Structure 1
Amino acid sequence: MRNIILALAASTAIAFPAMAEDVRIAVGSFNLNNLPFPVAQGLGLYEKHGLEVQVDNFASGGSKTLQALVAGSTDIAVGFYDHTIQMQAQNKDVVAFVQLARNSGLVLAGRPDSTFDPAKPETIKGAKIGITAPGSSSDFFVRYYLERHGLSDDDVSLIGVGSGGTAVAALQEGKIDLLVNYDPAATIITERGIGKILIDGRSDAGAASIYGGVYPTSVLYATQGFIDKNPETVQKVADATVEALKWMHEHSPEEIVDVLPKDFVTGDRETYIKAVSNAMPIFSADGIIDPEAIKTPLAVLSTFNDKVAKADIDLSATYTDRFVEKSAEAAQ
């Protein structure tokens, strides 16, 4: 009997970790750049590491997530690395501590009859281009492409169309000529014959054609103040997320989709699996932030953001690898 009681106690402790820490994590959208976060959720890794996670989903995008973090209504955000640079230019310390997506993941798509030819950049003139929102990474994608080819945003019309299904519908219905967006939208467009991919930033070569190099995107970030006050909590979040990244690279797209929370999967399952397969090259395997790669977002932002261009940005203050490095040591 005593052994049975001890076994029951042990199983209860595993199912309901004692003294689970509450942490609020905000996520800006369901684009696949953020995929490692819901994978960690679906695998129960945050609970495994002693966390009780309250998730706030801001479907309108990363800017709302960033606002929530700076305002203190969330503890940690799943957002894009370039936000940390923008915040430093405003004298706010926001620090990335796990990298989820090591590359852009953005594509530029057009309808089947599109007349834009990336080999002839001037053919983009007059196009109505859908982006997720003004000031977003998709906005910078277009503007930097134009800048590098001697064109300007006056040569096109930039229209906010969101992401996912609404973005696909805007292209399909002819409200826009071109669309810059992420998976699963990118895969849905090709699988359903709605359009074709003209520039593919999911690959290193595609990113280089736009930015001149890979463009780190999705990260976990927090204010420096929160990190300083709650290093153990941040470490647990890092441990769970790094474990999810490793798991993703050891499993098939089908297995990845199987563990996702239902509300994360958009469209039919088979198309979504293909989208995950197409996006896999962008995901970090270890969560490490490369100090060389983050120079690309700084170059892009300095072109379009006056505050960033005028500021003396210290990239070393925008990220830390100490938590993921400790995660790696603990896993050995």
Structure 2
Amino acid sequence: MTSNETRHRRRGLFRPLTVLASVALALSACGAPASAPPGQGGTGAAGGGDGSKVIIGVGGQTLLTYLPTTLAQELGYYEEEGVNVELQDLQGGSKALTAMIGGSTHVTSGYYEHTIQMQAKNQPIKAFVDMGRSSGLALLVAPKNEGQIKSIADLKGKNVGVTSPGSSTDMFVKFLLVESGMQQTDAAVSAIGAGSSAVAAMEQNQVDAAVMLEPDISVLTKRIGHDPVILEDVRTEEGLKEVFDTDAWPSASLYAKTDWLEQNKDTAGKLAKAIKRTLEFIDSHSGEEIAAEMPEKFAGGDKELYAKVIEDLKKTLSKDGSFTENGVEAVLKTQRVANPEVGDKDIKLEDTYTNEFVE
């Protein structure tokens, strides 16, 4: 199969969603919710116990991959489980990770692969509930380059937008470049964030291509008036198998420093239970019912279409919050390709995740 044939076939994987959502979905008008400065509220190193506040840094709160984190709060599940949670939108997984490592937050709602990256740096963190079975990523071509960029090879010398350097979107670009026989430096990356900033960067051709997630992809589709050219798409099980050779990809998760987990097992258990209950709610309710529970601003004034996007993306979420062995192994495999800091280092996967809090 040629690269063009592969691209067009993958592009068709999510066509029903883009057509559906392109009618309208003005999320870009409101953008991501404002976040409190990291460290606001005075977090302690052992915070989270005895009813104290647990601050969770979210790697882009409007992104649907992190929907369970916000929905759990909207449903009151954190409170019902007896934990006081504050969510901070930190506009990218690497920023959320940095905030936690620096002590500004206790827990991160970010991608599982960060636990592997940090073990390679001898900084133990562990994921304790999995929210996503797919990374939810797609690599799109900016409107100005449609017809010029037709394959990963065409990205050489181009500028690719990612949420932030070091985030999962960045790792995705690097993996694709290497898998295509290129150097990781053959394409530059620029931070475009998520939400309105990401959509604007693509619509205004500030970058040549970008790795995006929903609902940003659907917002961009509506803004440019046609389906964008998609080079790679791992929002579906078929796409995961083609790109990563797996049917499971632990992505959005809750993770924390390993010592924090050891010191706050009761709190971690309550957080995990709240997220597990949320995943069960998502699985048993319609997109419309879920959208009705989310913050009004997330719908951009059109809850009906927001609900339809959620309905389509439900299939990418975990149903029970547990990690699978083949999934974490697939993430490690691609990290070895995409991330020189991981490379061939001895990684103990059993130290990067646990299912004890969701079982």
TM bracket, shorter-chain basis: 0.7 to 0.9
Distance 1:90 1:200 in 2: 30
For residues 191-218 of structure 1, what are the alpha-carbon distances to aligned partners after superposition, in whole Å with 9 as ceiling and x for unaligned? 3425425132110221233333343211
Q: Say whether residues 1:288 and 2:319 are aligned partners.
A: no
Question: 1:239 Cα deviation (Å)?
Answer: 0.9
Q: Say whether residues 1:217 and 2:251 are aligned partners.
A: yes
Q: 1:23 to 1:111 in 2, by over 3 A?
A: closer
Distance 1:296 1:224 in 2: 22
Corresponding residue of 2:11: none
Q: 1:310 to 1:116 in 2, by over 3 A?
A: same
TM-score between the two structures when normalised by the length of structure 1 = 0.84
Structure 2 residue identity aligned to 1:169: A
Equivalent of residue 86 in structure 2, options 46, 49, 54: 54
| More displaced stretch, 154-163 vs 171-180 | 154-163
Distance 1:190 1:278 in 2: 16
Q: Say whether residues 1:88 and 2:119 are aligned partners.
A: yes
Q: 1:197 to 1:103 in 2, by over 3 A?
A: farther
| More displaced stretch, 93-102 vs 305-314 | 305-314
What is the RMSD computed on CA atoms of the aligned residues? Answer: 2.2
Corresponding residue of 1:37: 69
Corresponding residue of 1:63: 94
Corresponding residue of 1:13: none
- Please say if residues 114 and 177 of structure 1, whose CA atoms lie closer than 8 Å, have aligned partners that are also in contact: no
Corresponding residue of 2:6: none
Corresponding residue of 1:6: none
Structure 2 counterparts to residues 1-332 of structure 1, below 5 A: 20=51, 22-30=53-61, 31-59=63-91, 61-111=92-142, 114-115=146-147, 120-192=151-223, 193=225, 195-198=227-230, 199-213=232-246, 214-266=248-300, 268-325=302-359
Question: 1:264 Cα deviation (Å)?
Answer: 4.1
Q: Figure out how many residues of one structure are paired with residues of the other and give that number.
A: 305
Distance 1:26 1:174 in 2: 30
Distance 1:122 1:309 in 2: 23
Corresponding residue of 2:21: none
Distance 1:284 1:116 in 2: 37
Q: 1:307 to 1:173 in 2, by over 3 A?
A: closer
Unaligned runs of 5+ in 2: 1-49
Distance 1:254 1:194 in 2: 25
| More displaced stretch, 267-276 vs 93-102 | 267-276
Q: 1:186 to 1:126 in 2, by over 3 A?
A: same
Q: 1:309 to 1:172 in 2, by over 3 A?
A: same
- Please say if residues 202 and 281 of structure 1, whose CA atoms lie closer than 8 Å, have aligned partners that are also in contact: no
Structure 1 residue identity aligned to 2:356: R
Question: 1:291 Cα deviation (Å)?
Answer: 1.5
Question: 1:160 Cα deviation (Å)?
Answer: 2.0
Unaligned runs of 5+ in 1: 1-18, 326-332
- Which SS does the other structure have where 1:299 is aligned? helix
Distance 2:154 2:301 in 1: 32
| More displaced stretch, 284-293 vs 272-281 | 272-281
Structure 2 residue identity aligned to 1:166: S
Distance 1:320 1:267 in 2: 39
Question: 1:135 Cα deviation (Å)?
Answer: 1.6
For residues 18-70 of structure 1, what are the alpha-carbon distances to aligned partners after superposition, in whole Å with 9 as ceiling and x for unaligned? x74532222121211111011111110011111111223223x2222212222
- Please say if residues 191 and 271 of structure 1, whose CA atoms lie closer than 8 Å, have aligned partners that are also in contact: no
Q: 1:107 to 1:274 in 2, by over 3 A?
A: farther
